[in-house]
């Protein structure tokens, strides 16, 4: 089964990767054959770690954006290449991990490969439909101040501009501020490591402080309410908190994500909630 599994992994990478490329790269004709080949080579050679898919996508932005240049639409080309790269790495790494699990459980590599191809084909149809639903339901989708922000979109476009135009595309004093905040974060983390357990809880975590700036203020409200619930729960029944706290938190996070699709359907149908609750920050 080991030999067959390795053969299936190689074929799976090629077939699933090509399927994602044809679905995602079909509307990116300006990229040209050279840029598509670069994205495929980089994606197929680094597909064993799904958690690094975004890292490889950023690599594609800088490499292909700098190669194309601003005069040849380097920003759009690099973003398209990033999408191709992330889809290839994410999907094929899933397949690789599935083969590893199948080897441990003595599952059929062929059945897992066919299931992965079917799931990828379904995603090529379902994902655009979901995007179209959001696009029609929310006219300001992804814009600053809208209900559904796109912080990743702003960040990735900024990286594409940086890759194409260099540091001259950054605002004035941008690098100075970045280096300054990085130094402050390192100093705060150093203090957290040096002080004892008695005082460590009173020192803020720089990463947690940065998340609301990246995602939006609503995240801070969610975390504040969740932390308050956890604090009260710990005071009333600490044993149950230790046993069920992570499960309850996961359920609340998943529930928020699951409700996103029904919420967009109601908005598309023009249904307004009877009560609107809004926090002014």
Structure tokens at 204: 């803020």
Roughly how many angstroms between the first and final C-alpha of the chain, as a whole number? 59
- Structure confidence at residue 277 (pLDDT): 59
Burial class (CB in 10 A: 0-12, 13-18, 19+), 238: exposed
pLDDT in tens, 83-95: 888 888 887 777 8
Question: How many Å apart are CA 102 and CA 8, to the nearest integer?
Answer: 12
Sites in the chain below the pLDDT cut of 50 = 1-30, 281
Structure tokens at 178: 């970045």
- Ordered by start, the domain boundaries in the chain are 2-125, 186-268
- Structure confidence at residue 276 (pLDDT): 64
- Structure confidence at residue 218 (pLDDT): 66
Coil, strand or helix at 142: strand
Instruction: Name every residue whose Cβ is closer than 8 Å to that of residue 19 and which is 6 or more positions away in sequence.
Output: 117, 120, 121, 124
């Amino acid at each position: 089964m080991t030999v067959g599994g390795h053969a299936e992994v190689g074929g799976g990478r090629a077939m699933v990767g090509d399927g994602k490329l044809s679905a995602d790269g079909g509307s990116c004709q300006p990229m040209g054959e050279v840029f598509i080949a670069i994205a495929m080579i980089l994606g197929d050679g680094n597909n064993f770690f799904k958690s690094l898919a975004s890292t490889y996508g950023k690599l594609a932005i800088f490499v292909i954006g700098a190669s194309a240049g601003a005069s040849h639409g380097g920003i759009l080309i690099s973003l398209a290449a990033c999408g191709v790269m992330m889809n290839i790495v994410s999907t094929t790494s899933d397949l690789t991990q599935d083969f590893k699990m199948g080897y441990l459980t003595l599952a059929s590599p062929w059945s897992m490969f066919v299931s992965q191809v079917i799931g990828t084909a379904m995603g090529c149809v379902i994902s655009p439909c979901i995007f179209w639903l959001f696009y029609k339901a929310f006219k300001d989708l992804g814009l600053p101040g809208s209900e559904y922000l796109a912080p990743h979109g702003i960040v990735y476009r900024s990286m594409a501009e940086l890759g194409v135009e260099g540091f001259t595309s950054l605002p004035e004093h941008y690098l100075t501020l970045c280096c300054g905040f990085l130094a402050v974060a390192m100093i705060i983390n150093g203090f957290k490591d040096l002080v004892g357990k008695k005082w460590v809880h009173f020192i803020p975590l720089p990463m947690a402080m940065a998340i609301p700036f990246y995602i939006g203020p609503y995240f801070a409200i969610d975390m504040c309410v969740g932390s308050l619930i956890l604090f009260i729960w710990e005071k009333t029944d600490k044993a149950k908190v230790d046993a069920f706290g992570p499960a309850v938190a996961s359920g609340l996070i998943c529930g928020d994500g699951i409700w996103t699709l029904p919420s967009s359907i109601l908005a598309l149908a023009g249904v307004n909630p009877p009560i609107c609750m809004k926090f002014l920050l």
